[in-house]
Structure 1
């Protein structure tokens, strides 16, 4: 009996038939989980409103603070371009000035290309190093009197997230641990020079699933992220003062000692904060807040931020400033701008791969060897980096 030829799969038809049932089943599971916590979330809102110390819920103040802010962002190829001989990582960096600065302008728009043989996660760490290097450079220029600004806004975390174990590796070890050590040292210098020059720092946490609110309130069985909680409970122009990391560390210690079934998440966060605080002394003083901006956002999302206060700026004033300039995308407007400027298009990846091949062929005098290094290891994905069909 001969084999029947494979028919062409109608992908759209198959998805249209199968997906609704799968989504419906998953929606029921998620709804069961969140319907149980709905009443608890509303009770938490009332408690936060009654409190006079962090964590507490407040209205943003009048937008009276006028600042010169510098926003910085980096983007990187994730995953890197997979070549036969290694991986090609590309990092784009952008910075803009905003507000009361002498001029509102693009201050930086640069790139870094790195050929990697090893963990592809190195590109994300290199991207953070490139970002912190620029912030440190700008702070030095301010110290020298060349630049003048009040605030640096970073698209992402202010306190670097280091995976458990990597932060305590020997400094002489190469590879990923060495890169993380470099990131920690750069971050420590940024915090120190920011305090010295009277410059506030803010990190806008777009993808955050931390649960500081349940930990701070001792409601450890509430398995909902801060961002989801705040998005549901906050009204436009409201914010939650979460205190600082010193308060979070104290609350995590209590949670870890009193709750045997809290899971690994509490212990990991406590371990990370203890370790990073031993390398960056300013971490316990970093303040946390989550707010809903004055202008409604897409999906009504709340925005979580880490801030280091300096130059006489209060936490309430800084949160009000951020909430006032936050766009419909749920991030401060200058962060929106640098996010667009630093985006890496497919055409850029194609140019990088082709240029690497051409340069290697010229330098090695051997086109076959050059292709053996710079050719795509998975040709099925060649269209995803800009090759035309």
Structure 2
């Protein structure tokens, strides 16, 4: 499966639900779809860590020993991305040193860290360089495989960033939009394909070593792979149902051609209590509580047949509050209740008109 991730858009005009820390009226409780997506990613992560380690082991134990080590051996092969980032790092350090934002001692220390990191992974880089020479990989394939191996570090050390897009909180949404690490739904399939092709690529080129790890991990690998196959069609069905449900709610929230426009719009400021008085053009978010006028607008929307979920999205409060309002509306008589008069406003002149 190519992976499933949510799109988090920037909140340019304030939060849709100002009184909540969640961007969904249903709150922070995970849906069945969210739970299955997280289960899917957890199984992916376990397999990815193992496949990554297996590829690295193969390169170190089968390819690296085949390198003819001679005096004057050239520097280890590096991927295009590694060379570019190392060059950028050295440039940033040099600029900071020239502008006296770094002392000479600190600049030398940072460059030493870069060199130590390069030496630490020299064996793997040598193995990739030799693999390119003997025709195991093209340069493009080696670059791609190295990017997949680098993605493993994100899974191991920054897993919170890879799972953040499933969350409903504004904090998670803001984090996803600003984070440099993104969940890659196709990464496991690509890494698996490279891993399965290693023996065919290396046949007759290097001396192969039979791995013991595969026998030990065999049961876990089979269970995880079966779990991915089980969850994939289930998640796709849940996505289809969720999209249809969202489309139905979006249609309910479309108030064009109804009376709920202008000063009768559910989000009209007079419908909501504010946390404090506004000053001039300062925006003060509502507290999530309705005024008497807002409560009547809410009841009129229920008169029009709107669902609680659509109501919550239109009014900007939680689904729980929408259900409570519906109970009060039913207790008041539902569609047979006596409609309360509300103050009307002239939006152009910004003045009150009369009760209607």
Q: What is the TM-score with the length of structure 2 in the denominator?
A: 0.25
Higher alpha-carbon Rg = 2
* Higher percent of residues as strand: 1
Higher RCO, 1 or 2 (CA under 8 Å, sep at least 6)?
A: 2
* Higher percent of residues as helix: 2
